[in-house]
Amino acid sequence: MLFTEEDVTHRLAGIHVFPINALPAAGLVPEGIDTLCHEEAVKFEAMRRYYDMVDADLLFCFSDIALQAEAMGAPVRYASDEMPAVCAPAGIVRVPRACKAPRMALNGQVVRRMRTAYPRRRIAALVYGPFTVVGQLTGEQNALRRVREAPAALSALLVEATAMAEDYARLLLDAGADLLWISDPLAALLPPPDFDGFAGRYLRQLFGLMSDGQTILHICGETSDLLAPMVATGAGGISFDQCMALPTVEAQVPRQVAMIGNLDPVEVVTMAPLHTVCAATRELAATMGIRSNFILSTGCALPPGTPIENVRAFIHSGREAVADIRRHAAYLAPLVDAVTRGDATATVQTVGRALAGGRDSLRLLDGGLVRAMRQAGARYEAKQCHLPELLMSVDAFYEGFARLKTRLPGSADAGPRVLLGTVQGDLHAIGKDLVRILLEANGVGVIDLGVDVSKDRFVAAMARYRPAIIGLSAFLTAARRQLPALIGSLRSSGNENLKVVVGGAAVNAVIATEVGADGYARDAVAAVKLIRGLITDLRAGEGASR
Amino acid sequence: MTFTTENGGGLRRYLKLGTHPILLTRAEEIRVEAEGLAGLLSWQSEVTRAFFETRFAPCSGNSHALQALLADCPRVLLLAVTLGQPLSDRVRQYMAANRCLEGYLMDRMGSFWAETAMRSLDRQASGSHRAAGGRTTRRFSPGYHDFSLEAQKPFVELIGGRWPGLHITSGGLLLPEKTITAVVGVWPGAGSC
């Protein structure tokens, strides 16, 4: 048994890893999506084949955004290789019984058969939120415009869409679904003050169907500003889009509410090679898995063409990684909290206690100190703190690291290394120093050549240290003028995969391109993000070539 | 002066310290240390326009922005302030020891104080001209717009041995780091000496 539930604080215990919806199932039957949407046997067969291969903790019946609007009168276009889509606004809006709407009734039947086929697995009743359905019925721009221009008419439509959603949810729950999942993507575009009036109150009404808190709300896009009213809907879990940095919002999600997310469904699960899927999954699990209310999932539905082996790799590596990190969460979570608060004393004490308890030093470094620095960096990027607060965390990191480093195994730094220096004639050190310190705090090996570094010294250091990445700092225009020749020399020194990044007051993104650099960072945090991304790419390249 | 007093508020905002109590306490400790290390020196000299153009050639003549600013003013005020080397050395020590909060805050405090000292020197010098019925331009520093950093060289020559350790790097950077120079155009009033 991989998991114990004793530390779980949310109401969705037993759910650890799953991808949203079941659209890749479409590729497992020879019939097209249009047929799958209308033939119960075909749809169930696709579900069965998919979930026989994909060991998810939460199952979905293949669902599409057009279904509820279609039942209410919107015309829908079908194709064998595309998801159903509303093709025109609804003429007369009606609210039929869900059991009389053919595709709703069909989904009810499929859920009933899934219940029988998978008696021990949890099944979600996937329903779209009323605001999104009204957007499908009237056109999304019209729905948003009515928030200001015709709020009463919009509310009347929302009442009808809620009635339809409620009836459809009951149908799926009566058929055997355990949990109510509501996706309301259009609600992400509501101004925060309007969210509750045009989305939240209706979602609250729908979630009221489930007295046991078995409810999840998913809203696509950047939802930081909507988080409080989303939590106020009473959902037992909030599912986050892949664009969200979860560490920046975790403090706003109560511990009894599950944080669900948020691996990129397209860039990673669908398009990336298998080893990248596993690596990205493990990193997300390691970052968020210490939170007792975290559930690993995708940031949105996986598209129909997603390779099944990638979905399986996500589930398999994610399940292992979450289970692994959970075993250490009890001492890693307080360590992460101490570092992100910038409390050096608490950091040292927590490290000391963990070492005295026989905890693994590498785990404390990677899962505790480095993880905390990523969170602190993400908070800074999200403008949740200023640089001094971030630097407090860095100082706490180094205090903890000093306590830890004698216990670390030698030559732990086996990854790609970064060579840093301020170019000749320029003595500005502090920006470059911050980049070095933050990179090291993020587990990246750095060779710092200092300031006023000549081309010859850069080239000699290249030959000696064989770095994967070189960071050049230039604060003076005179220093900037040297960059094209310097970068040219570095590139001609033998490493064809060398990446060069630049920063400092004398450069910007345009100049970086002009001088032949691979990237530009406006500050130390951006530099760390840029360089970590380049390292990930380099590792992916190495993995692919093996 | 502490960060919780009214006078410390400007520096607190400049450093973006917010209200974090631990941060404020640590920043206060750093401020006390930095004040002990900062040896503020200032220098000013008023020269004729002709003297200025000769000593600062070719940087002055090549800078359209400076020439536009000075226009037909007959005299030029040269201003400089420095906090000395010890503060910058301490910043480097902090950064080398990975104590980047201390290093960063001390560096920023140095910048704030140097800028404040320059502003005060400018206000004082320009104010006395205005009191005598004259006019002054806003100040303009080497490195800004098209006024070359090379113009630091004549500043160093003019200040000379008054400030031990003052020198210029091959890249035109003044050392100690927290050193600022500026030029102000002057139209003396009737009461100016």
The minimum CA-CA distance between A427 and chain B, rounded to whole Å, is 8
Q: What ipTM was estimated for this complex? A: 0.83
- What per-residue confidence (pLDDT) applies to A152? 97
Among residues A266, A273, A264, A267, the alpha carbon closest in space to that of A543 is found at: A273
The answer to which of A186-190, B5-9, B108-112, B178-182 has the lowest mean pLDDT is B5-9
Strand bridging mode A469-473 / A499-503: parallel
Q: Is the CB of A389 less than 8 angstroms away from the CB of B20? A: yes
Structural domains for chain A? 17-327 (3.20.20.210), 331-407 (1.10.1240.10), 417-545 (3.40.50.280)
Nearest CB to A476; choose among B18, B91, B171: B171
The minimum CA-CA distance between A343 and chain B, rounded to whole Å, is 8
With beta carbons under 8 A apart, name residues in chain B contacting A388. Answer: 15-18, 20, 23, 27, 101, 104-105
Instruction: Please write the tens of the pLDDT for every residue from A513-537.
Output: 999 999 999 888 889 889 988 888 8
| pLDDT confidence bin for A544, thresholds 50/70/90 | low
The minimum CA-CA distance between A250 and chain B, rounded to whole Å, is 20
Mean pLDDT of B173-188: 92
Considering only residues B117 and B6, tell me which one the structure prediction assigns the higher pLDDT.
B117
Please give the backbone phi and psi of residue A19, each rounded to the nearest 5 degrees, phi first: -95, 150
| pLDDT confidence bin for B13, thresholds 50/70/90 | confident
With beta carbons under 8 A apart, name residues in chain A contacting B101. Answer: 388, 391-392, 394-395
**In chain A, pLDDT over 90 holds for what percent of residues?**
70
Instruction: Please write the tens of the pLDDT for every residue from A186-217.
Output: 999 999 999 999 999 999 999 999 988 899 99
| CATH top class, domain B9-187 | alpha beta
The minimum CA-CA distance between B192 and chain A, rounded to whole Å, is 39
Amino acid at A53: M
Looking at chain A, which residue has its C-alpha nearest residue B101?
A: A391
- Contact with chain A for residue B172, Cβ under 8 A: yes
Nearest CB to A434; choose among B20, B104, B175: B104
Report helix, strand or coil for B148.
coil
With beta carbons under 8 A apart, name residues in chain A contacting B106. Answer: none
Secondary structure string (H, E, C) spanning A389-408: HHHHHHHHHHHHHHHHHHHC
Tell me: pLDDT of A2 over 60.
Answer: no
- What per-residue confidence (pLDDT) applies to A493? 79
**Beta carbons within 8 Å of A201's beta carbon, 6+ residues apart:** none
Among residues A485, A503, A523, the alpha carbon closest in space to that of A421 is found at: A503
Please give the backbone phi and psi of residue A404, each rounded to the nearest 5 degrees, phi first: -95, -30
- Chain A 339-398, CB below 8 Å of chain B: which residues? 342-343, 385-389, 391-392, 394-395, 398
- DSSP letter at A423 equals B
Q: Is the CB of A388 less than 8 angstroms away from the CB of B23? A: yes
The answer to which of A58-67, A230-239, A454-463 has the lowest mean pLDDT is A454-463
Q: What is the pTM of this model?
A: 0.76
> Quick check: A376 and A287 in contact, CB under 8 A?
no
Residue spans of the domains in chain B: they are 9-187
Instruction: Please write the tens of the pLDDT for every residue from A277-335.
Output: 999 999 899 889 999 899 999 999 999 999 999 999 999 999 999 999 989 999 999 99
